[in-house]
Amino acid sequence: MTTENTPVTPKILREETIIDVERVSFWYGGRAALKDVTMAIDRQVITAFIGPSGCGKTTLLRLINRMNDLVPQVRMTGTIRMNGVDIYGPDTDVTRLRRRVGMVFQQPNPFPKSIYENVAYGPRIHGVKSGVFLDEIVERCLRRAFLWEEVQEQLEESALGLSLGQQQRLCIARAIAVEPEVLLMDEPCSSLDPVATSRIEELMLDLKDDYTIVIVTHNMQQAARVSEYTGFMLKGELVEMGVTDAMFTTPRDRRTEDYITGRAG
Amino acid sequence: MTDRTRHRRMDRRRLLDLLVGRLAALGGVVLILTILSVFAVILWVVYPLLLSPAEYRWGVSGPDGIDAGYRILPLIFGTLKGAVYALLFAVPVSVLAALYASQFLPRAMKERLKPAVEIMAAVPSVVLGFIGGVWLAPYLASHVFALFLAPVFISGVVTAVFLIRHHAPVSFRAFNPPGREIWLLMVAVLAGGWLALECGTWLETAWLRAGYETWFEESLGLTYAQRNAIVVGMVMGLAVTPVIFTISEDALSAVPRSFLEGSMSLGATRWQTALRIVLPAAGTGILAAVLLGFSRAIGETMIVLFISGNVPVMDWSAFSGFRALSASVALDLPNAARDDTLYRVLFFAAFLLLVSTFAINIVAELVRRRLRRRYA
Amino acid sequence: MGSKWSKDDALIWLSGGALVLGFLMVAGLILVIVVHGLGRFWPQELTRYVMHDGRVVLGHETSRASVRTTGSTGERSRAYRLRVRTGDRRLYPQEYIWLEESGVAGRDAPREAVVVEQVRGGDLFGYLDSFEDDGVVVARGYDAVWAHYRERYPELERLRRQQALSIVLTSTDGRRHAVSLASVQRIYAPNTMTAWTSVRHYVGSAWSYLWAPPRDENRLGGVYPAIFGTAAMVILMSVVVMPFGVLAAFYLREYGRPGPFLNAVRIAVNSLAGVPSIVFGVFGLGFFVYFLGGTLDRLFFPADLPEPTFGRGGILWCSLTLALLTLPVVIVAVEEGLAGVPRELREASHALGATRFETLWRVVVPVVLPSILTGLILSVARAAGTVAPLMITGVVAFSAELPVDGAWPFVHLEREFMHLGFHIFDTGFRPDGGEAFLPMSYTSTLLLLAIVVSLNAAAIGLRSRLRRRYSVAAA
Ligand SMILES: Nc1ncnc2c1ncn2[C@@H]1O[C@H](COP(=O)(O)OP(=O)(O)OP(=O)(O)O)[C@@H](O)[C@H]1O
Ligand SMILES: [Mg+2]
């Protein structure tokens, strides 16, 4: 184990912390994907994670809403708490947790249903039956995702007919339709062109007033543009985490500096 | 090697290549001709019948040379009845099983399941028909109550075992660890079946004065034929289950993981995801599977021959038998004189089977191809 | 996980129940076949039932049925009746009788009770009375007769021809019945048998089941002609279907120009696989038997007309019909094999200047050979289990002649033949009096099932080994 010489100091639970991760390690089969990660994520700000491919960003994100429960033969140690409650504890209902912690994936993955049904899906499974109410939710979320204008005429058409950028915004609308507290976004712009990307960034900035957003990105400019806090990961370790501006101007760790300045692959 | 011999060898090689190419093409042509000739030959025999008045075919009145009772409409009815009862049994069982196998069964188990299902599909229909007609039909005839209790009891016991397992202390998991649920399920289903048998027998003794046959007659106005549609449904259902299961399972497994994750990330349970996302996404594939099952059921001969009783009655009652097109062909064609009207009528029966199954198979194949392209 | 559970988890569990249910039902039916089929050769103890009314019955119980009765005071109760096999009708009026269980005063298993298996006719249950030579008693009493029989047993075949020797049995009601040694297949006393002699008896019976011709309208004896007929037909079919199927598959994958036409052909082949077997039988009758056969008769056997030679059902026509039926099986298997041949392999060969045929012959064929074998096994399994089309193209319940024998021209393609699957139908589907045939059909069902399942298992094993090899090669 690479705890190295610096003993990890658990963060003091602050008022603004919504999620705190304490000494989490994670293995796929026998292979370690996360090593002793400790950090905290604050309420209603955007936190970004950067790092080279394969360093464990997605893994970390998926641990926060327990999507990794679906993967066979994995092992985790450490604790992750949301609002102070252990989310891997015996009293946690996974589906309730996922409802509170939404996720947007790297590849847009709308269901093969109509646009309307995509957004209405979440509220429906959580028990909303009234048509009027659903209509209202669908419109609100699509507006929120800046998609309403483009699709209001074709709500009953298949979501698979939308462009990739539209699909990704639909996925965001779908995610916020269940009114989560936290929105996890795993490289949401990786398959999009610059125009669509900037639309999503705008959207994120707009959403952060109501949601806590955690974003994984390969694009350092994007992290710099949208996030308040940034974490840098390398080979399963969280090397450094701090205020975004400070991190990009005066990184504390050599490895961060190398990565930011493009000296390490 | 001189230039000339090299040339000659080259020519021989090219000739051989050409020859084999032609041979393969010939194989292809013969293949196509064969398929066409199946249609042509049967049509050739049926053709004169098609020219004669329609009554002959549908058998509203019996023409000369045909036993007055030989009418094709009851046979079509019987074929459909058998297929419907088979599907009533097979569709719920196989689609649910496919859903379970594709979404909830551990991978290692699934790998072991597949060859078993393949073997199940290979059991000859004469074997199923024999055991259904000779053993199952009389057995069920003396356990009618158990037959009705079984669905309730089996699902009841399975649910009960589920609850026990859920509330049992953690040490229970050493006995039946996650991933090995299927063994416990087996015990539960067996226990449910056994309980249904016991209770059925007890009920019959305690409640009925005479045998159930009389009770059926008196209370329900039904006659219970030992070889009836329920038994056919069960046995033929078992015969088409592997077909429907395999194709549905393929379709369900082909649903991309990203749909699953999208749904789960919204807080849907695994069952909600399976039911609302996976099942609709694989809907056309399952439709193709059911169509193929239906086509298999209409053409099935030995099972209906053994179990349906081969009586040309036309009612939908689950407790009466029927007579199917396929079984009639098998039973009567050996006794039909060549080019006789009966001979032609039976060819017409075969023609109906040929056209309907061929069409259904084409539709199912096209559906499957489209599906494969979509998720490829 | 926790102590919480939701309706959803229960539903998942129930859907698992559906999987298990389908599985257990098939397994249950197969188990019934196995138990009945295997149990048949075990020597069954002969029981003597002494009834309250003084009647004495010798036989063995085949089943026990419950009957509801309503007593005189209206109370309901359950009584049982025994189905007892009393042996061949030559000794007792009925082979199977019902006995009220309440009417049985006592039962025992007399050691002297014997079973006489007859060459023609069923088994006789009775007591040994005497051994007679031309009406003269040579031995009397169980032990003496038994000893005499055992002494003579080795030369039974020869003695059969001497009509004079006979064994006299007494029935339970004291009647005497002489059985000529000529018609004795075997005599045994099941109630005196030890485990070891029972096993020997079992193996002997199973052996003669496999290798002896049928007796008494397929009710007894063996199924050798049916096994032989099935095998001969399947071999004949393979000879036709394999080259044709392989060629067709090569056309579809290698030589045909990919396009809508080829696609249509492929769809047609797949749909052909879904056409019911009985339809192929009808085609076979119309085309092979009446058209081809009729033409052959007119050309080569005009002297025999109107008695048809090839113009009626026969093994050749059955084989051709099944060849058509299994054609898609072969094509699909070989095509799968061809699809699995790595493209680089072909390209490497072409790059070396090989022609298409050379590439095919030296590179592709060796790789797909196991797939061809798989196709062969699967088509054989399918053909062995298919009965319906044969019923109208030339299979018979009983035939004294084999399709291959020592008489010129040795292979008789026009002959009708016996088939294991049809044997099951013939013995299992009897409107009345079928009970006596059931032991036979259970055994034949088990045999057919074993053949088909092991063939399929072989194909599955072969294919999974193939797939593993490809995946290793691809990795
Ligand atoms: N389902 C899985 N099974 C086994 N190993 C996995 C699985 N998912 C990820 N890994 C491994 O875990 C490590 C971290 O993967 P992760 O997807 O978290 O990286 P990432 O930082 O998101 O990379 P990228 O930027 O390419 O998305 C990698 O080495 C990867 O190979
Ligand atoms: Mg990632």
Q: Please state whether beta strands A182-186 and A101-104 pair in parallel, antiparallel, or not at all (unpaired).
A: parallel
**B184 & B274 share domain:** yes
Question: What are A96-118's pLDDT values in tens digits?
Answer: 899 999 999 988 999 999 999 99
pLDDT for B244: 95
User: For residue B229, is pLDDT > 80?
Assistant: yes
**pLDDT category of residue C371 using cuts at 50, 70 and 90:** confident
Residue B61 lies in a domain: no
What single-letter amino acid sits at A37? V
Residue B60 lies in a domain: no
* 3-class secondary structure, C188: strand
Q: In chain C, which among 278-307 make CB contacts under 8 A with chain B?
A: 278-283, 285-287, 290-291
Query: Relative to the CA of A106, which ligand 1 atom is closest?
Result: 27
Residue B59 lies in a domain: no
First to last CA, chain C: 38
- Count Cβ–Cβ pairs < 8 Å, chain A vs chain C: 4
Residue C425 lies in a domain: yes
Q: Does A93 touch chain C (CB under 8 A)?
A: yes
Residues 6+ apart with CB under 8 A from C270: B361, B365, C328, C332
We report the CATH number of the domain holding residue B106 as 1.10.3720.10
Question: What are A176-207's pLDDT values in tens digits?
Answer: 999 999 999 998 888 778 888 888 898 889 88
Residue A43 contacts residue A18 (beta carbons within 8 Å): yes
For residues A5 and A3, what is the distance between their CA atoms, to the nearest angstrom? 7
Residue C368 lies in a domain: yes
Question: Which residues on C lie below 8 Å from B42 (Cβ)?
Answer: 279, 282-283, 286
Q: In chain C, which among 407-466 make CB contacts under 8 A with chain B?
A: 421, 424-425, 428-429, 434, 438, 441, 445, 448-449, 452-453, 456-457, 460, 464
User: For residue B40, is pLDDT > 90?
Assistant: yes
Name the domain count of chain C: 3
For residues B248 and B153, what is the distance between their CA atoms, to the nearest angstrom? 27
**pLDDT category of residue B375 using cuts at 50, 70 and 90:** low
Ligand 2 mean position, distance from CA A97 (Å): 21
SS (H, E, C) B18-61: HHHHHHHHHHHHHHHHHHHHHHHHHHHHHHHHHHCCHHHHHCCC
What single-letter amino acid sits at C200? R
- Which ipTM was obtained for this model? 0.89
User: For residue A1, is pLDDT > 50?
Assistant: no
DSSP C79-105: EEEEEEE---TTTSS-SEEEEEGGGEE
User: For residue A11, is pLDDT > 60?
Assistant: no
Question: Which residues on B lie below 8 Å from C274 (Cβ)?
Answer: 292, 295-296, 299, 357-358, 360-361, 364
pLDDT for B182: 85
Residue C415 lies in a domain: yes
Question: Which residues on A lie below 8 Å from B266 (Cβ)?
Answer: 98-99, 102, 121-122, 125, 174-175, 177-178
Instruction: Write out residues with Cβ below 6 Å of ligand 1.
Output: A 28, 33, 51, 53-59, 71
Range of the domain at C368: 224-474
* 3-class secondary structure, C75: coil
pLDDT for C69: 64
Question: What are B284-332's pLDDT values in tens digits?
Answer: 899 999 999 999 999 999 999 999 988 888 888 888 888 899 999 998 8
DSSP class of residue A210 equals T
Q: What is the mean pLDDT of residues B76-90?
A: 94
pLDDT for A7: 35
Residue B168 lies in a domain: no
Q: In chain B, which among 29-88 make CB contacts under 8 A with chain C?
A: 30-32, 34-35, 37-38, 41-42, 44-45
pLDDT for C424: 92
**B18 & B103 share domain:** no
Please name the residue that has the structure tokens 């970390």. Answer: A60
For residues C128 and C336, what is the distance between their CA atoms, to the nearest angstrom? 65
Token representation of residue B37: 């000739």
For residues A111 and B232, what is the distance between their CA atoms, to the nearest angstrom? 40
Question: What are A20-32's pLDDT values in tens digits?
Answer: 899 999 999 889 9
Last residue of a domain, one of C91, C108, C125: C108
Comparing C-alpha atoms, which of C437, A181, C21, C128 is closest to residue B134? C437
What is the residue-averaged pLDDT of chain C? 83
**C234 & C193 share domain:** no
Highest mean pLDDT among A154-163, B202-211, C336-345: A154-163
Residue B203 lies in a domain: no
User: For residue B65, is pLDDT > 60?
Assistant: no
**C102 & C126 share domain:** no
Residue C206 lies in a domain: no
Q: Does B34 touch chain A (CB under 8 A)?
A: no
**pLDDT category of residue B246 using cuts at 50, 70 and 90:** very high
CB contact under 8 A, B234 and C25: yes
The strand ranges marked E within C141-290 are: 165-170, 176-180, 184-188, 214-215, 220-221
Q: What is the mean pLDDT of residues C379-397?
A: 89
What number of other Cβ atoms are within 10 A of residue B5's Cβ? 9
**pLDDT category of residue C318 using cuts at 50, 70 and 90:** very high
User: For residue B24, is pLDDT > 70?
Assistant: yes
Domains of chain A: 17-260 (3.40.50.300)
**C270 & C324 share domain:** yes
**C267 & C393 share domain:** yes
**C262 & C378 share domain:** yes
We report the CATH number of the domain holding residue C66 as 2.30.30.720
Question: What are C13-27's pLDDT values in tens digits?
Answer: 889 999 999 999 999
User: For residue B249, is pLDDT > 70?
Assistant: yes
pLDDT for A6: 37
Residue C295 lies in a domain: yes
DSSP class of residue C345 equals H
Question: What are C72-121's pLDDT values in tens digits?
Answer: 565 666 678 888 888 877 777 788 888 888 888 888 888 888 888 887 77
**B136 & B251 share domain:** yes
Distance from CA of B264 to the nearest CA of A (A): 7
We report the CATH number of the domain holding residue C376 as 1.10.3720.10
Sheet containing strand A31-42, strands side by side: A31-42, A17-28, A74-82, A85-86
Query: Relative to the CA of A62, which ligand 1 atom is closest?
Result: 18
Which residue's CA is the closest to the ligand 1 atom numbered 26? A53
pLDDT for C75: 61
pLDDT for B70: 63
**C125 & C76 share domain:** no
User: For residue B61, is pLDDT > 50?
Assistant: no
**B261 & B319 share domain:** yes
**C153 & C252 share domain:** no
- Which ligand is the nearest neighbour of the Cα of A238? 1
Comparing C-alpha atoms, which of A49, A47, A30, A23 is closest to residue A233? A49
Residues 6+ apart with CB under 8 A from C108: C47, C48
User: For residue B211, is pLDDT > 70?
Assistant: no
**pLDDT category of residue A64 using cuts at 50, 70 and 90:** very high
pLDDT for B335: 84
**B137 & B286 share domain:** yes
Which residue's CA is the closest to the ligand 1 atom numbered 23? A54
For residues C271 and B34, what is the distance between their CA atoms, to the nearest angstrom? 13
Q: What is the mean pLDDT of residues A43-52?
A: 90
Last residue of a domain, one of C155, C170, C201: C201
**B7 & B123 share domain:** no
CB contact under 8 A, A99 and B267: yes
User: For residue C5, is pLDDT > 60?
Assistant: no
What is the residue-averaged pLDDT of chain B? 85
pLDDT for C3: 40
pLDDT for C91: 77
**B131 & B248 share domain:** yes
**C93 & C154 share domain:** no
Question: What are B99-150's pLDDT values in tens digits?
Answer: 999 998 888 888 888 899 999 999 999 999 999 999 999 888 888 888 889 9
**C86 & C195 share domain:** no
What number of other Cβ atoms are within 10 A of residue A127's Cβ? 6
Comparing C-alpha atoms, which of C450, C422, C455 is closest to residue C214? C422
Tell me how long chain A is. 265
For C65, left (φ over 0), alpha (ψ -120 to 50), or beta?
beta
For residues B318 and C268, what is the distance between their CA atoms, to the nearest angstrom? 36
Q: Does A232 touch chain B (CB under 8 A)?
A: no
Distances (CA, A) of C241 to B12, C330, C376, C452: 29, 8, 9, 18
Tell me how long chain B is. 376
- Which ligand is the nearest neighbour of the Cα of A235? 1
**C451 & C427 share domain:** yes
Q: Does C18 touch chain B (CB under 8 A)?
A: yes
pLDDT for A4: 38
**pLDDT category of residue C445 using cuts at 50, 70 and 90:** very high
Q: Please state whether beta strands A31-42 and A212-216 pair in parallel, antiparallel, or not at all (unpaired).
A: unpaired
**B18 & B128 share domain:** no
Question: Which residues on A lie below 8 Å from C4 (Cβ)?
Answer: 93
Token representation of residue B240: 């088409």
**C133 & C77 share domain:** no
Q: What is the mean pLDDT of residues A236-242?
A: 90
Q: Which residues pair with C131 in a beta bridge?
A: C139, C167
What number of other Cβ atoms are within 10 A of residue C431's Cβ? 5
Residue C473 contacts residue C345 (beta carbons within 8 Å): no
Q: What is the mean pLDDT of residues C120-136?
A: 81
More confident: C326 or C96: C326
Question: Which residues on C lie below 8 Å from B274 (Cβ)?
Answer: 12
pLDDT for B74: 85
Token representation of residue C193: 């048998």
Tell me how long chain C is. 475
Least confident of A71-75, A248-252, B149-153, C429-433: C429-433
**C262 & C297 share domain:** yes
What is the residue-averaged pLDDT of chain A? 87
Residue C266 lies in a domain: yes
User: For residue B64, is pLDDT > 50?
Assistant: no
Residue C391 contacts residue B306 (beta carbons within 8 Å): no
More confident: B274 or B339: B274
pLDDT for C21: 92
- Count Cβ–Cβ pairs < 8 Å, chain A vs chain B: 67
Burial level of A7, CB count in 10 A (0-12/13-18/19+)? exposed
Distances (CA, A) of A47 to A43, A50, A171: 10, 10, 20
Helix B341-375 × helix B3-51 angle, to 10°: 130
Comparing C-alpha atoms, which of B51, B2, B16, B15 is closest to residue B344? B51
User: For residue B342, is pLDDT > 70?
Assistant: yes
Distances (CA, A) of C410 to A207, C169, C296, C394, C400: 89, 44, 19, 19, 15
Range of the domain at B313: 73-142+180-189+221-374
Token representation of residue B313: 């009655």
* 3-class secondary structure, C422: helix
Residue C450 contacts residue C348 (beta carbons within 8 Å): no
What single-letter amino acid sits at A125? I
Name the domain count of chain B: 2
What number of other Cβ atoms are within 10 A of residue B309's Cβ? 24
Which residue's CA is the closest to the ligand 1 atom numbered 20? A54
Q: What is the mean pLDDT of residues C38-65?
A: 86
**pLDDT category of residue A263 using cuts at 50, 70 and 90:** low
**B98 & B225 share domain:** yes
For residues C47 and C43, what is the distance between their CA atoms, to the nearest angstrom? 12
Ligand 1 pocket: which of A25, A28, A68 to mutate (most atoms within 8 A of CB): A28
For residues B265 and A94, what is the distance between their CA atoms, to the nearest angstrom? 10
For residues B278 and B272, what is the distance between their CA atoms, to the nearest angstrom? 9
Give me the percent of chain A exceeding a pLDDT of 70: 93
Residues 6+ apart with CB under 8 A from A233: A49, A50, A51, A55, A56, A57, A60, A239
Give the predicted TM-score (pTM) of the model.
Answer: 0.88
